[in-house]
Structure 1
Amino acid sequence: MVSLKTKTTLRAGLMGLAAATLTSAAAMAADLQELGFATSASGGTGYMYAVAVATVVNEGSEALKITPFPSAGVIENDRLLRNDEAQLILHTGGQAYSSYRGEGKYPSKFEDLRAIMPIYASLVQMIVPAESDSKSPGDLKGKRIGLGEPGSSANTYVRQVLKAENVNDGDYDGRPNSLTEQVAGLRDGNLDALTTVMGGGAPALQDLAASRDVRWISITPETLKSVIGMNPTGAVVPVTIPAGTYPQQDGAVQTFGVPIWIMAKAEMPDALVSEIVTKFLSNLPRAHEVHPVVDGTTKDFVANAAPPVPWHPEAVKALAAMGYDTTPFTE
């Protein structure tokens, strides 16, 4: 027979254990770092790549939870990071270079901006209906061109391509549409050209090529040389989109790529930086399962990507520990 005193003691012990468990759970929840990750348009490669990064890093982690969300582009991402409305962002080399130095569209120097790792090169892609008489960017003068949303990479780099071929702002009907709006516009005949900066084989462009006869415009070496001269060293790199990347794409397309970086503030704790780098690079096959677009993070790509802003010191340590060489930052 159990006495009342024993029952009371047992009840008190169980209540104490429950309280301790709740306190421990609360402590663990308090220690969990939630990081908002500003990416790109929801149909873009950047967003899908970020989802893959977040998935593999979050799995089994008791230290952090990364939540990717779509954005209007890297200029918006930069603003969100400055204002602590995001803790991780995708950034292009050229725009990060300007932000760090307070040039161009950036109101002040962002000296706390730090590189975590380069993950892939986003490609400048210019697409027209197959029956279009436009064979080069210069032929788009007077046309209705989707430029991407203000603040997007496409809005910056495509205008540079056009300028290199003597097609200046005002010489065409530039429309700052989202990718979704551009795809619909080109499919329905309301746009003469779609332009974007995203990874090769992006699903949104796969779907477009499967439902409408379209053609990719190549960029000549002379135009590429001019664009390279408009940007900091390492901001753009020549890239070929292989034939067959998209439905009915019979020939290779010459273009250029914009290295895409994961960036954060200098105050990002070392432990979180190390976990992000190590878990993602250790689980690339898993990341590819999440999204097949994850195929651009290679040792050669990481080693050859020139950082436009200082590295986060812990990122360099984590990359080196995994056998990844890095290019030092230079002013």
Structure 2
Amino acid sequence: MTMRLKKTGLRASLLGLATVAALGGAALAQDRTELGFATSSSGGTGYMYAVAVATVVNEDSPDLKITPFPSAGVVENDRLLRGDEAQLILHTGGQAYSSYRGEGKYPSAFTDLRAIMPIYASLVQMIVPKELESKTPGELKGKRVGLGEPGSSANTYVRQVLKAEGVNDGDYDARPNSLTEQVAGVRDGNLDALTTVMGSGAPALQDLATSRNVRWLSVSPETLTAVMGMNPPGAVVPVTIPAGTYAQQDDNVQTFGVPIWIMARADLPDAAVTQIITRFLGNMDRAREVHPIVNGTTKDFVAGATPPVQWHPAAAAALSEMGYSTLPFSQ
């Protein structure tokens, strides 16, 4: 399912020889770098964002091909990148910070992890049936709560929200289900709360809001402050989901966002990094046709994103060329 990086150094030579043996010399008539892109669940906006990136880059590039594929979340993405089973990944700032330093879920420091660019803030969203009495995350004690798959951002950040409101692991029936399973569970009455971390207006959530009477839970300022204290600087930012974003959503929803980054290894060729950034940012109108989530990649968002790991050598220069300011990396 994943694609291997081709045409770089010794690895390129070995892959080139293997290709000649299998397909004949004609297969090498045109060199092309192929990159597997590990993203998020197939119903998530992270996956759709990656599709938008791949579409505009691939259409405009004869020598670079990006193939996005769904995954169980950023922890899996990190593992795939470490093992060269993916060459591009989506990562959250907080998890990338931990991976780079070998903390938490990461047994060793991934010092080769590099930032390509921040793309948007994926939002913590907690959705319950409208008839459920629970009005706050703290009132989900004893309830059947979907948490997202192990290793997903939702499984991490939603548990932090619950902990901040006095609901600890074991105080509720945790269901580490995929987004698709959670949507079905809420719709069928088998789940009391769906939780996810994804972009505003995600199709899967739009569909749920039109097929079931549901409402969104807000995160209080006090809870947000507590969650920010559980994470490194810049890992979470306050966000409002405007009223009317979803069917039945009559009021603003206060929550927080997790900045999402495209990341790679330090050995990803400079030319590939430059092409990804310049071709994507130079074709935003086309990218919006694929998915409007790309509207989250604003100059203000990029300029305000604190890099949790070192920039790839070519990334900051390419962003600057496109008119995007960046913050420096700080240990």
1:233 alignment partner in structure 2: 233
Q: How much has 1:47 moved relative to structure 2?
A: 0.2
Q: How much has 1:230 moved relative to structure 2?
A: 0.2
Matched, 1:120 2:134: no
2:198 alignment partner in structure 1: 198
Secondary structure in 2 matching 1:186: helix
Q: Deviation per CA, 1:217-244, whole angstroms, max 9, x where unpaired?
A: 0000000000000000000000000000
Q: How much has 1:24 moved relative to structure 2?
A: 8.7
CA contact (8 A) 2:240 2:254 kept: yes
2:79 alignment partner in structure 1: 79
Identical-residue share of aligned pairs (%): 80
Secondary structure in 2 matching 1:275: helix
Q: How much has 1:313 moved relative to structure 2?
A: 1.5
Distance, in Å, in 1 between the alignment partners of 2:158 and 2:95 is 14
CA contact (8 A) 1:63 1:272 kept: no
Matched, 1:297 2:297: yes
Q: How much has 1:23 moved relative to structure 2?
A: 9.0
1:7 alignment partner in structure 2: none
Matched, 1:53 2:53: yes
Secondary structure in 2 matching 1:111: coil
1:14 alignment partner in structure 2: none
Secondary structure in 2 matching 1:76: helix
Q: How much has 1:248 moved relative to structure 2?
A: 1.0
Taking the TM superposition and a 5 Å limit, the aligned residue runs for 1:259-298 are 259-298=259-298
Q: How much has 1:295 moved relative to structure 2?
A: 1.3
Q: How much has 1:84 moved relative to structure 2?
A: 0.4
Secondary structure in 2 matching 1:49: helix
Distance, in Å, in 2 between the alignment partners of 1:97 and 1:23 is 44
**What is the one-letter code of the residue matched to 1:307?**
P
Distance, in Å, in 2 between the alignment partners of 1:214 and 1:264 is 38
Aligned length, in residue pairs: 309
Q: How much has 1:293 moved relative to structure 2?
A: 2.3
2:147 alignment partner in structure 1: 147
Q: How much has 1:26 moved relative to structure 2?
A: 3.5
CA contact (8 A) 2:60 2:279 kept: no
Q: How much has 1:60 moved relative to structure 2?
A: 2.9
Structure 1 residues 200 and 58: alpha-carbon distance in aligned structure 2, compared to 1, 3 A threshold: same
Q: How much has 1:62 moved relative to structure 2?
A: 1.6
Distance, in Å, in 2 between the alignment partners of 1:329 and 1:147 is 32
Q: How much has 1:103 moved relative to structure 2?
A: 0.2
1:10 alignment partner in structure 2: none
1:26 alignment partner in structure 2: 27
CA contact (8 A) 1:101 1:110 kept: yes
Distance, in Å, in 2 between the alignment partners of 1:71 and 1:210 is 26
Q: How much has 1:329 moved relative to structure 2?
A: 0.4
Distance, in Å, in 2 between the alignment partners of 1:64 and 1:289 is 21
Q: Deviation per CA, 1:225-281, whole angstroms, max 9, x where unpaired?
A: 000000000000000000000001000000000000000000000000000000010
CA contact (8 A) 2:129 2:186 kept: yes
Distance, in Å, in 2 between the alignment partners of 1:325 and 1:28 is 39
Gaps of 5+ in 2: 1-22
2:319 alignment partner in structure 1: 319
1:248 alignment partner in structure 2: 248
Secondary structure in 1 matching 2:296: coil
CA contact (8 A) 1:129 1:213 kept: yes
Matched, 1:328 2:328: yes
Matched, 1:69 2:103: no
Distance, in Å, in 2 between the alignment partners of 1:189 and 1:63 is 50
2:18 alignment partner in structure 1: none
Distance, in Å, in 2 between the alignment partners of 1:152 and 1:288 is 26
Distance, in Å, in 2 between the alignment partners of 1:24 and 1:53 is 31
Secondary structure in 2 matching 1:295: helix
Q: How much has 1:108 moved relative to structure 2?
A: 0.3
Whichever of the two has the greater Rg, that structure is 1
2:98 alignment partner in structure 1: 98
**What is the one-letter code of the residue matched to 1:26?**
A
**What is the one-letter code of the residue matched to 1:153?**
S
**TM-score normalised to structure 1 length:** 0.92
Taking the TM superposition and a 5 Å limit, the aligned residue runs for 1:162-201 are 162-201=162-201
Distance, in Å, in 2 between the alignment partners of 1:106 and 1:276 is 28
**What is the one-letter code of the residue matched to 2:196?**
T
Q: How much has 1:27 moved relative to structure 2?
A: 3.3
Distance, in Å, in 2 between the alignment partners of 1:293 and 1:312 is 24
**What is the one-letter code of the residue matched to 2:204?**
A
Gaps of 5+ in 1: 1-21
Distance, in Å, in 1 between the alignment partners of 2:169 and 2:153 is 16
Q: Deviation per CA, 1:111-138, whole angstroms, max 9, x where unpaired?
A: 0000000011000000000111010000
Distance, in Å, in 2 between the alignment partners of 1:60 and 1:144 is 47
Q: How much has 1:25 moved relative to structure 2?
A: 5.5
Distance, in Å, in 1 between the alignment partners of 2:24 and 2:149 is 47
Q: How much has 1:292 moved relative to structure 2?
A: 2.3
**TM-score normalised to structure 2 length:** 0.92
